[in-house]
Homo-oligomer: A and B are copies of this chain.
Amino acid sequence: MEKNEALNALAALGQETRLDVFRLLVKTGKEGMTAGAVADALEVLPNTLSTHLAALSRSGLVAAERAGRSIQYRANLDTMQFLVTYLLQDCCAGHPELCAPIATLVNSGDPSNSGSC
């Protein structure tokens, strides 16, 4: 059920530490970061962070992969894409004209960036 996936993602991101974690992981790109590195960067206790990473993982916003002793986490942008799409569909449903500014914004901006962001 699509709504629940969106709901889980929204709930996961609606918590400051988790939003910070996700933003940090997005910044690091495909390489991602180890759980410990995230904990250090955000100054969160490792066990507390682990709980938040588990929540992000359950909602599909991050993916985990063991690398030696560490576990590497990275943002899953497919889920973010799904979430943004879901939100846009909601906005546009029945009233496309109301959402024009959003599409405009996404389409506009630096021309060199056109087609990507």
Interface residues of A (CB under 8 A from B): 3, 6-7, 10-16, 19, 22-23, 26-27, 29-30, 77-78, 80-81, 83-85, 87-88, 90-107, 113, 115-117
Contacts and interface: CB of A to CB of B under 8 A. Distances in A.
A93 B14 CA distance: 20
How many copies of this chain sit in the oligomeric assembly? 2
Contacts of A26: 90-91, 93-95
B100 A116 contact: yes
A3 B13 CA distance: 11
Which secondary structure characterizes the binding site on chain A?
helix
A60 to B, nearest CB: 14
Contacts of A84: 84, 87-88, 91, 102
B14 A94 contact: no
Contact of A14 (B14, B27, B85, B87): B14
Contacts of A90: 22-23, 26, 80
